[in-house]
């Protein structure tokens, strides 16, 4: 399993990364693999303060962000004439329930806030239910997402807030 926290903290099974040579080798191999794998990243960053200023009753930012990701993924599927599925990492009962509700709502209902109709979601998504897996199941795609999410967040924050000081780290070399 590629659990980001264990890698950064050099805890088992990544305790060998405390050694500079091991860490250097691991980082080099990781970056080489990222360069060789064929995948697409879609991301959304919600500025909660701006969301609160703009709307008197704003959407839940996590549900709104997930809905935007679903929309972007659907556009990707349409552009590539493909069908696809969505799987997320289970976090908590409340969070999981909210994501399932969001997925189901967009799958079965049109929303004027989004450019796409529920018929399009039904046409391109292979399931009417959101797939969820717990972290301990070590699903490869979820592990990869976990490793890349911090780098994506920093990349987006740097674009929107160039003056903001962000801690420099391994993430800077990932994207």
The string of pLDDT tens digits covering residues 17-33 is 999 999 899 989 988 99
Please check whether residue 113 is in contact with residue 77, taking contact to mean a CB–CB distance below 8 angstroms. Answer: no
pLDDT of residue 7: 86
Burial environment of residue 116 by CB neighbours within 10 A (0 to 12, 13 to 18, 19 or more): middle
108 or 48, higher pLDDT = 108
pLDDT, the chain, mean: 88
Per-residue pLDDT at 169 exceeds 80: no
Compute the distance between CA of residue 98 and CA of residue 60 in angstroms, rounded to an integer: 9
* Mean pLDDT on 46-73: 86
Coil, strand or helix at 162: coil
Range among 47-56, 90-99, 139-148, 153-162 with highest mean pLDDT value: 90-99
* Mean pLDDT on 151-174: 74
The DSSP code for 58 is P
pLDDT of residue 58: 74
63 or 112, higher pLDDT = 63
* Mean pLDDT on 34-61: 85
The dihedral of CA 120, 123, 125, 127: what is its sign?
A: positive
Compute the distance between CA of residue 38 and CA of residue 149 in angstroms, rounded to an integer: 17
pLDDT of residue 97: 96
Compute the distance between CA of residue 35 and CA of residue 18 in angstroms, rounded to an integer: 24
């Amino acid at each position: 399993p590629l659990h980001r926290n264990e890698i950064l903290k050099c805890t088992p099974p990544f305790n060998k990364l405390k050694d500079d040579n091991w860490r250097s080798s691991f980082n080099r191999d990781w970056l080489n693999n990222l360069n060789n794998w064929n995948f697409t990243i879609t991301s959304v960053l919600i500025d909660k303060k701006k969301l609160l200023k703009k709307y008197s009753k704003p959407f839940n930012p996590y549900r709104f962000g997930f809905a935007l990701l679903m929309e972007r993924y659907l556009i990707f599927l349409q552009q590539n004439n493909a069908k696809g599925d969505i799987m997320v990492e289970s976090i908590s009962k409340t969070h999981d329930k909210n994501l399932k509700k969001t997925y189901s709502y967009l799958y079965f209902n049109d929303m004027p806030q989004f450019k796409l109709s529920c018929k399009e979601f039904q046409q391109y998504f292979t399931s009417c239910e959101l797939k969820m897996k717990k972290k301990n199941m070590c699903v490869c795609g979820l592990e990869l997402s976990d490793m890349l999410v911090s780098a994506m967040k920093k990349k987006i924050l740097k674009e929107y807030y160039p003056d903001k000081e962000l801690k420099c780290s391994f993430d800077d070399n990932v994207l």
